[in-house]
């Protein structure tokens, strides 16, 4: 590694997800912060996290935070909801600021819900943890919350079955109660779910407010810059590094599609 | 560990799968060989294998064969089709006989197909490897083979969505060509697929011959006993040990259901 590369890596923002869904977050943040560099780690070899036990998710998560710290990041973002649930309330990792998606997502939902009930969609791990329900009730004691695990949604997105009779039938099954109760604020508690946005709107109505992780993380990152907790990157040194624990043609293709129009270099394989 | 336990473990048959689908194989073998002991390892923490690269599957597979060898097994069975593809043609692991599901499954299909085309259903990793097609053509140069990846089938089984409008719609999508070509010999190239047997018969017709891994592995194991390559267990010392790399209530429940009427003790967690 040249000293110029070392210098660049010292200034990046680390993002971790179980797979490639977190690239939707990377894309949002890379667009909002055009001079910042990013180091992304997708744990493709061991995805999905959504059906693992909290102990296993924590063990894998700590390995990944350690890897990103060793890559000299200045801030850490857990883009994976299932992983966020096991690091809830932890604001730093060995003195590096740590953001998760649960708290900002909950705050954003409360801002638009006007006291009406809020629905949370997520993996089995996220829903079984009740992390969103607990966080929402901490922020507003009387908030009514409906949680619904949608475990097949991740597989649908990974197989590219979106806007399809199959995704619509599965969506109808999962979302029936939420539609019948006319709930109009829905937290997408998994980074894969924004890709099913059109299916969800078709089922829940065009007036549904879907809360997505990428948008709200941008606000939290802005606060970290504004408070001086982390410093801004210099112009002209930007890089975007996408690392994964496995590489297949399918995932390489999916990664490039998710990041468009931002182009990325070859995926870097990391053995954890 | 007591010396009695050591003695028992020295005589067991090791079975490995990416998850719990291989319990269908364990159940078949434990029924067919009522005095034999078994040590099962399901790599639940890192499932599914079906969308991983061959390099990653091989790395994980070697860790698991090593674990089972250290548990003093007398024979090794790779019940996972995706893992079998990367160990194809390897008949032992460090002097312990090694069986996979590809070769016996192919031989069984050829016996019943009467020269007609054979279809193979499997995960993306299994189908992309063309392991079944290569093996079938080695056994019969003129055999016509149609391969079809059915990546959502594993998720359906894991979520218990079987005999359902959703599994039927997904099955219709994957199996349309096979039905239109009136193919009547179909290899179920994934241990999860026998659980979808009724859906598959509804789509492909009651006269379809579905080739399942458990049945054909029993014959190969019988050959190992008959040739003296491995010795039979003594009566009255049987144990069935089910180890997994993660444990959740969902998987514990699924494991007990798949093994019925054979009862198993608590799942043992193994960190790999």
* Residue B130 in contact with partner chain A when CB distance is under 8 A: no
Quote the pLDDT of residue B6.
Answer: 44
The terminus-to-terminus CA distance of chain A in angstroms comes to 21
Cα angle vertex B47, ends B46, B48, to 5°?
Answer: 140
Q: Is a pLDDT exceeding 70 seen at residue A256? A: yes
Dump the DSSP string for A125-189: HHHHHTHHHHHHHHH-TT--EEEEE-THHHHHHHTT--SSHHHHHHHHHHHHHHHHTT--EEEEE
Quote the pLDDT of residue B37.
Answer: 96
- Among the partner residues A46, A165, A173, nearest to B46 by beta-carbon distance: A46
The pLDDT tens digits of the residues spanning B82-114 come to 999 999 999 999 999 999 999 999 999 999 999
Cα B8 from chain centroid (whole Å): 24
The pLDDT tens digits of the residues spanning A45-60 come to 999 999 999 999 999 9
Q: Which two tokens stand for residue A125?
A: 């791990």
Domains, in order of start, for chain A: 3-100+215-269 (3.40.50.1860), 103-213 (3.40.50.1860)
Residues of chain B below pLDDT 70: 1-10
Closest listed residue to residue A211, CA positions, set A111, A131, A134, A127:
A111
Active-site residue list of A: 80, 190
* Residue B157 in contact with partner chain A when CB distance is under 8 A: no
* Chain B contact set for A52 (CB, 8 A): 44-45, 246, 248
User: Quick one: residue B11, left, alpha or beta (phi over 0 = left, psi -120 to 50 = alpha)?
Assistant: alpha
DSSP, collapsed to helix, strand or coil, labels residue B78 as strand
Quote the pLDDT of residue B10.
Answer: 54
Residues whose CB falls within 8 Å of the CB of residue A48, separated by 6 or more in sequence, listed in order: A18, A19, A82, A123, A154
- Among the partner residues A44, A169, A250, nearest to B124 by beta-carbon distance: A250
Quote the pLDDT of residue A265.
Answer: 87
Q: Is a pLDDT exceeding 70 seen at residue A235? A: yes
Strands of the sheet containing B75-78, edge to edge, are B92-93, B96-100, B75-78, B12-17, B37-42, B240-244, B268-269
Q: Are the beta carbons of B241 and B40 closer than 8 angstroms?
A: yes
Q: Give the DSSP H/E element, type plus range, for residue A6.
A: helix A3-9
The pLDDT tens digits of the residues spanning A124-143 come to 999 999 999 999 999 999 99
Taking the C-alpha atoms of residue B255 and residue B267, their distance in angstroms, rounded to an integer, is: 9
Query: Nearest residue on chain B to A174, judged by CA atoms?
Result: B166
* Residue A250 in contact with partner chain B when CB distance is under 8 A: yes
Quote the pLDDT of residue B215.
Answer: 77
Q: Are the beta carbons of B29 and B15 closer than 8 angstroms?
A: yes
* Residue B53 in contact with partner chain A when CB distance is under 8 A: yes
Taking the C-alpha atoms of residue B188 and residue B201, their distance in angstroms, rounded to an integer, is: 12
- Among the partner residues A156, A165, A250, nearest to B169 by beta-carbon distance: A165
Cα angle vertex B56, ends B52, B62, to 5°?
Answer: 130
The CA distance from B260 to the nearest CA of chain A, in Å, is 23
* Residue B159 in contact with partner chain A when CB distance is under 8 A: yes
Summarize chain B as % helix, strand, coil (round to 5): 50, 20, 35
Predicted TM-score (pTM) of the model is: 0.89
């Amino acid at each position: 590694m040249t000293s110029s590369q070392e210098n660049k890596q010292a200034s990046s923002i680390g993002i971790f997800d179980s797979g490639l869904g977190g690239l939707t977050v990377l894309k949002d943040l890379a667009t909002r912060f055009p001079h910042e560099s990013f180091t992304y780690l997708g744990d493709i070899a061991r995805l999905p996290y959504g059906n693992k036990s909290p102990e296993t998710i924590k063990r894998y998560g700590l390995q990944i935070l350690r890897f990103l710290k060793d890559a000299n990041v200045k801030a850490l973002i857990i883009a994976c909801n299932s992983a966020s649930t096991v690091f809830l309330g932890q604001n730093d990792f060995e003195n590096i600021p740590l953001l998760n998606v649960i708290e900002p997502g909950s705050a954003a939902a409360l801002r638009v819900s006007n006291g009406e009930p809020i629905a949370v969609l997520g993996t089995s791990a996220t829903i079984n943890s009740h992390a969103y329900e607990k966080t929402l009730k901490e922020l507003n004691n009387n908030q009514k919350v409906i949680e619904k695990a949608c475990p097949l949604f991740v597989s649908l997105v990974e197989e590219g079955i979106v806007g399809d009779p199959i995704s619509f039938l599965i969506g109808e099954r999962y979302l029936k109660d939420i539609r019948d109760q006319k709930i109009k604020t829905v937290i997408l508690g998994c980074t894969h779910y924004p890709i099913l946005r059109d299916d969800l709107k078709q089922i829940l109505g065009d007036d549904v407010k879907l809360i997505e992780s990428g948008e709200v993380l941008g606000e939290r990152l802005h606060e970290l810059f504004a408070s001086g907790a982390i410093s801004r990157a210099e112009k002209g040194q930007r890089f975007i590094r996408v690392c994964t624990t496995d590489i297949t043609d399918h995932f390489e293709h999916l990664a490039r599609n998710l990041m468009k129009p931002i182009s990325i270099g070859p995926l870097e394989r990391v053995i954890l």
